[in-house]
Structure 1
Amino acid sequence: MKKTLIFVIIGLAVLIGQSHNASLTIYKDGMALIDQPVNWPITEGFNTVAFSGFPKLLYKESPFLTLKKGTVYSQRLDEDVFSSGKYYAEKQGHPITVKIHDEKLVEGTLLHISGQTIVVQTRAGVRTFLEQNIDYFEFEDQLEDPRFDPELVWNIYVTGESNARGNLIYTTGGLDWNAVYRLIIRDENHEAELIPQAIVKNTGDLDFTSSQMKLVEGNLQRASGSKPRPQMRTMSMSLESGGLNQAAQHEGLGDFHIYTIAGKHRLKPNQTVLLKLYEPRNITFDKTYVFENSERQKR
């Protein structure tokens, strides 16, 4: 019988998802609308296709798939992913083999497992093993195609095509932006240059490469508590300045203003990117001096 070998590993590898050629419309409340091109090789007729490259802060009710030539019949979000905690909990009462330092293999029935101990019913009785004394432990089991990321699955119908091409649109948290203005005083002639820039933040877990950005100025006035709670992360404060030489295109839409950032940019997880919002402006100004007396009046 095949066995699943479980090693005790110190340290974890973090897998970062990636999005390529997406269009990002970023609002000022930590929310963004993502338009992601998709392409699957298919056979003519009915097919089942899947996509897993979306962020963890996805709004679950938002994904919408459109196909250039085809029909979408159903969509589901499959979140049944492998979890070691769930797997171990399901193994209570099952056979287990434990290898202890400088000892023979111990076989028995798993009673309890935690981050520090394993409790096993053996022929000699109930034994408790400490994690630091365990080389490895294994179960008589075989996992079939374990999945580690949630995925969206569609049933589609396509005729006359060998590929299903379209766009997946969804909303997510973890993306935000704000405007900053820098005033460079040239001389004493009351002239200066006003430089508007945008700071775009990605506090999510998805790496957006070759992405196009639109920044929306305006308040959506969404109901409080409607957006997903971001995970606590350490933000990288290094600034990417590759887009500082290209100004955004400015459009008005009612109470909103949309700035289309020129070119394509990369927005890594936990990164802040500095971009040009629109062209610098030459302004004139007057200096005003305000004097305040902070001394307390003597009585």
Structure 2
Amino acid sequence: MRHFTLSILLLSTSLSLGEVAQADELSLTIYNNSRALVSDSRDITFRSGQQTIELPGVSSMIQPETATFVASGLSINEQNFDFDLLSPEKLMEKAVGSFVEIIRTNPGTGRETRERAKVLSVNNGVVIQVGQKIEVLRDDDIPTRVVFDSVPTNLRANPTLSVNVNSQQSGTRDANLTYLTGGLDWRADYVAVFDEDVGKMDLQGWATLTNNTKTTFEDADVAVIAGTVDQAGQYGRNNFNPRNFNPRGGNMRGAGTQQSGQERVGDNYLYPLPGKITVKSNQTKQVGIVDAQGVDAKKVYEYRAYGFNNMNDPQSADVRIAFSNARETGLGTALPAGIFRVYTKDNSGRSQFIGEDAIGHIPGGSSMALKIGDAFDVKVKSQVASNRETGRKTREIEMVYTVTNATDKDTTVFIRQNIGSSYQETTILSENVESTREDAYTALWPVKVSAEGESTLRFKVRQKSRW
């Protein structure tokens, strides 16, 4: 409470409404949308007939409507989720209208005084009635204890699901509780150590688990699902959503067609994590899921232009790491959505961070170009050499790109230019560097630039309106 310091004593600790069953086997399947499937198996001793079974230790963010409780010879009458957890604040709130005992200790003499008090209100402080007096409990350096006769039946030390059942027979048998919960999330985090000179990278991928519930899951079998599983309404908060992934310019150059080695569940991939894992409340934990050495990779420079514009100042080219997750490159696995961080070695052999990019779910065999930064020494400047109408629906545009390279290595800068739209027919009339068409509206020119040199790309296009 904000206005006083107290300790709590209980004269009675009767917490149970029925038989209490602790978890024997626990498994978690965690999705990318702050959601998880919990499977909780327990050996429970049932009496014959109607009874209430308490299942403590369930997630504090359980979706009770998704819970199923199954055991042989059992029918379920009712289930309740008690999520009010035992705490001094909750005890005081539940005691409104009831009597408690206030014990104060004189710090000088150690003498205790006891008073019977009725709790009137708990609202930005505690208001009590002692006899005919109304008093506010506050922090006045006098040690104070509040003694409660019992714990309210709807307060729990742990989140608890209680199930009222009819059992056809007595005896101990296995029961399984399955439910969905919010508050558990995961994403992939990748660490790549890139060697530009040999054109290789070593890659580690981690499943980063986050538990935002008030429940600790002990010694669980944990698996993560890579993919998008729809739900009728968003439950919980998702900090990284592959559906919203849309980095500048994109980074998947071609979707792959190679099947990955992971187990498929529906249209998603299942990654079982090794061993028994404890995921504590309010904890982030990392477990390895990808480990590949010597993957083919190279640094490339790209510049993306969406229109025909004059630049006042040269602009930096994108610095990208290009690689494929195809089998023949040394990787050969699908890559779940996450953050890709790239390191390299400096001249003294120390690792240095050089950039990061976000990726969506990447199928096996795809080609990637991850943007890790803006080039310091490689610049691009565009100029409109001419832009004129040549007919009622026709226009010709000539562009000049000047590419400079202030490094000590020859390089190639890929100029990716949007040259048209769905309401235009676009034709390249001339070019001094041969282009390729990525699609109907985009052309790609590989411009070679020598060390400490400059190159020029010049092209002319004709645009004809379709209407």
Scaled by the length of structure 2, what TM-score is found?
Answer: 0.46
Return the offset for 1:32.
0.3
Q: Which structure is larger by alpha-carbon Rg, 1 or 2?
A: 2
Contact map agreement 1:47 1:155 (CA 8 A) in 2: yes
- 8 Å Cα contact 1:21/1:211 also seen in 2: yes
Task: Return the match for 2:95 from 84, 88, 91.
Answer: 88
Q: What pairs up with 1:4-23 in 2 under 5 angstroms?
A: 8-9=6-7, 21-23=25-27
Question: For 1:182-261, what aligned pairs fall within 5 Å after superposition?
Answer: 182-185=191-194, 188-224=197-233, 226-228=234-236, 250-261=262-273
Task: Give the match's secondary structure for 2:64.
Answer: coil
User: Structure 2 vs 1, CA of residues 88 and 281 (structure 1 numbering), >3 Å: closer, same or farther?
Assistant: same
Q: Does 1:173 align with 2:185?
A: no
Q: Is the 8 A contact 2:60 2:83 kept in 1?
A: no
Partners in 1 of 2:280 and 2:102 — Cα distance? 43
Deviations 1:39-90 (A, max 9, x none): 22233454432112112111121211111x2223223115385632333322
Residue identity matched to 1:270: N
- Select the residue among 16, 29, 32 that pairs with 1:25: 29
Q: 1:76 to 1:188 in 2, by over 3 A?
A: same
2:74 pairs with 1:71: yes
* Alpha-carbon shift at residue 205 of structure 1 (Å): 2.0
Aligned equivalents of 2:73, 2:103: Cα separation in 1: 53
Post-superposition offset of 1:212: 1.1
Q: Indicate conservation of the 8 Å contact 2:104/2:143, yes or no.
A: yes
CA distance in 2, matches of 1:119, 1:195: 60
Gaps of 5+ in 1: 1-6, 11-17, 231-247
Counterpart code for 2:272: T
| Cα displacement (A) at 1:177 | 0.9
1:288 equivalent to 2:322? Answer no
For structure 2, list consecutive stretches of 5 or more residues without a partner in the other structure: 9-21, 239-259, 302-316, 318-376, 382-467
Q: RCO higher in 1 or 2 (8 Å CA, sep ≥ 6)?
A: 1
Structure 1 residue 132 corresponds to structure 2 residue 132: no
The residue type paired with residue 207 of structure 1 is: T
Find the aligned partners of 1:84 and 1:23 in 2 and give their Cα distance.
33
Q: What CA distance in whole angstroms lies between the structure 1 residues aligned with 2:53 and 2:91?
A: 27
CA contact (8 A) 1:73 1:155 kept: yes
**Distance between the aligned counterparts of 1:98 and 1:268, measured in 2?**
36
Which SS does the other structure have where 1:259 is aligned? strand
More strand by share: 2
Structure 1 residues 98 and 191: alpha-carbon distance in aligned structure 2, compared to 1, 3 A threshold? closer
Whether 2:59 is the aligned partner of 1:52: answer no
> Do the aligned residues in 1 keep the contact of 2:189 with 2:208 (CA within 8 Å)?
yes
Once the two structures are TM-superposed, the CA of residue 209 in structure 1 deviates from its matched residue by: 2.1
Asked if structure 1 preserves the Cα contact closer than 8 Å seen for 2:199 and 2:298, the reply is yes
CA deviations on 1:164-214 (whole Å, 9 max, x unpaired) are 312100111121111122323467332333333221122222222221112
| 2:216 counterpart SS class | strand
Summarize deviations over 1:212-258 as a string: whole Å, max 9, x none.
1121112223345x41469xxxxxxxxxxxxxxxxx97122443222
Q: Secondary structure at the match of 2:95?
A: helix
Instruction: Assess, with a 3 A threshold, how the Cα gap between structure 1 residues 132 and 260 changes in structure 2: closer, same or farther.
Output: same
Supply the AA of the counterpart residue of 2:212: T
Shift of residue 145 of structure 1? 7.0
Name the % identity: 19
Number of aligned residue pairs: 260
Q: Structure 2 CA distance, aligned partners of 1:108 and 1:284?
A: 77
Distance 1:222 1:173 in 2: 12
Q: Which amino acid in structure 1 is aligned with residue 79 of structure 2?
A: R
CA distance in structure 2 between the aligned counterparts of 1:183 and 1:137, rounded to whole angstroms: 56
